Amino acid sequence: MKRNDWKNVQFIFGPVRYRRTLMVDQESQNHYLLDDWLGIRNYQRHNPLVEVKEAELASKCTYRGADELLK
């Protein structure tokens, strides 16, 4: 165990904040086991379903309008 960090991910139902633990394996590679298990990529801030909905909204209206709808 190396350290604990917080991560925020935006889902359709709202943001989720969780604490994750950075682990070091035998080859000295760093891993967040929970992120690996959930399939969350590095620097990912949105759930893939949110990204699809954003693209659908942006194709039907302006980006500003899509942003207002998502808020």
With residues binned 3-state (H G I as helix, E B as strand, rest as coil), the percentages for the chain, rounded to 5, are: 40, 35, 30
Q: Name which residue leads in pLDDT, 32 or 68.
A: 32
Is the predicted pLDDT of residue 50 greater than 90, yes or no?
no
Cα separations (Å) of 13 from 16, 36, 50, 63? Answer: 9, 22, 10, 21
Query: Token pair 């759930």 is at which residue?
Result: 47
- Stated pTM of the model: 0.64
14-35 confidence digits (pLDDT tens): 888 999 999 998 999 999 998 8
Position 49 scores a pLDDT of 83
- Say if strands 30-32 and 14-24 run parallel, antiparallel, or are unpaired: antiparallel
What is the model's pLDDT at position 6? Answer: 94
Mean pLDDT (the chain, rounded): 86
